Amino acid sequence: MNTGTTTPAGAGATARRRSRFRRVLDAVDERMGISALQYEVPEHANNLSWSLGALTAIGFFILVASGIYIAQWYHPMPEVANQSIRELMTGVWLGSFARGLHFWAAQAMVVLALLHMFRVFLHASYKRPREGNWIVGSLMLLLAYLAVFTGTVLKWDQEGFEALMHNLDVAELMGGLGVWFGTDLAAQVPIVVRLYTAHVAVIPGLIFALFVLHALLVKRHRISEHPAIPHPEREHPAPFTAHLRRATAYGLVLLGGLGVLAVLVPPVLGPTPVEGIETTRPLWMFWWFFPFEQWFGISSVGLAIAAIFGLIILVPLLDRSPRRRWQERKVTMGIAALLVLILVAISVYVWINNPNGH
């Protein structure tokens, strides 16, 4: 009698398939270095607030995907730009949904980027040796604003036209430094076409390049310690792939929410613009700069933009103390709170005094 242990034929075939699959994965990893994503992520980073950067990236990729779809029907010439969007919304399958998704994803990306930078600022994760990554992130935020601005112009309704007029005024005041934003660089090409090129190629390309650098710097310096955790060595780290799966789950929730907004609150498209009047207010993210023209003249708009983004970029150079707990950074947190209050006050002012909005 045979008393040995036998392996069922089915189990042996399954083991062989797994072995082949493992060899394929190993071969791919040998050439692509995918296992590099298995670096450790601290336990405190596996929650929503520390995943806001990944969610911002997901918002960007939603923008790219919906933008590619919209671009198949959009015509950037000023004479037909507005009408091409109307035809997209009424005569193209999922056209209205794609535009709504694109519109809300743009705002979500900016909101998530601001929340991510607030979390980094609160925990002082920008301090040595991560100063460079804060600057990279700040430039990405600036590019996100440029993406929303150029997208607004491309609608070529009254709001888009007025946004372009402000752009041209600021470019003229900048002289040679503003040539790219003006009409003199390539007089034979409508500026809407040039802004379209920036919107679909230049700005997304720069954002993606900075995103890759940003991710590489995170891997190089690791995710920062939580300043409120006294013994980080006692945490139970997880591989980055597990962190990525969690962020992907959050991203699916984000996509679902944006899809609901795209259906229930579709973005407004105004009629073709009328020159010589100003009747609209910009999107909320531009309210911080919008009233400066009325208060101090058009030149102050450019100065306000430069001051706000310049201050954001310089944060790690202005706050060089080793302290990271927000309770110990009273001066820094006090200045930041004052600036936030000023920006909120300006936004409330715009809301009350400029009712013609989106």
pLDDT tens, position by position, 100-140 = 999 999 999 999 999 999 999 999 999 999 999 999 999 99
Query: What band does 292 get if pLDDT is binned at 50, 70 and 90?
Result: confident
Using a pLDDT cut of 70, give the percent of the chain over it.
93
- Report DSSP letters for 238-306, one per residue: EEHHHHHHHHHHHHHHHHHHHHHHHHHSPPP--PSP-TT-------GGGTTTTTHHHHH-THHHHHHHH
56, 109 contact by CB (below 8 A): yes
Residue type for 46, please?
Answer: N
Which residues have CB under 8 Å from 270's CB, separation 6+? Answer: 155, 157, 158, 159, 280
3-state SS assignment for residue 140: helix
The alpha carbon of 266 is separated from its chain's Cα centroid by a whole number of angstroms, namely 20
Which range among 29-33, 128-132, 294-298, 309-313 shows the weakest confidence by mean pLDDT?
Answer: 29-33
Residue type for 203, please?
Answer: I
pLDDT tens, position by position, 319-355 = 998 999 999 999 999 999 999 999 999 999 998 887 6
3-state SS assignment for residue 352: helix
Distance CA 159, CA 138 (A): 27
Which 8-state DSSP code applies to residue 40? E
3-state SS assignment for residue 201: helix
The full 3-state SS of 43-103, as one line of letters, equals HHHCCCHHHHHHHHHHHHHHHHHHHHHHHCCCCCCCCCHHHHHHHHHHHCCCHHHHHHHHH
pLDDT of residue 251: 96
pLDDT tens, position by position, 5-28 = 555 656 666 666 667 777 887 787
Which 8-state DSSP code applies to residue 230? S
pLDDT tens, position by position, 55-64 = 999 999 999 9
CATH topology classification for 41-277: Cytochrome Bc1 Complex; Chain C (1.20.810)
pLDDT tens, position by position, 183-213 = 777 778 888 999 999 999 999 999 999 999 9
CB burial class (10 A; 0-12, 13-18, 19+) of residue 259? middle
The alpha carbon of 349 is separated from its chain's Cα centroid by a whole number of angstroms, namely 26
Which range among 32-36, 143-147, 210-214 shows the weakest confidence by mean pLDDT?
Answer: 32-36
pLDDT of residue 169: 80
Q: Supply the mean pLDDT for the chain.
A: 88
Count of beta carbons in the 10 Å neighbourhood of residue 122: 16
The alpha carbon of 54 is separated from its chain's Cα centroid by a whole number of angstroms, namely 10
pLDDT of residue 277: 76
Distance CA 263, CA 259 (A): 6
Residue type for 40, please?
Answer: E
pLDDT tens, position by position, 68-89 = 999 999 999 999 999 999 999 9
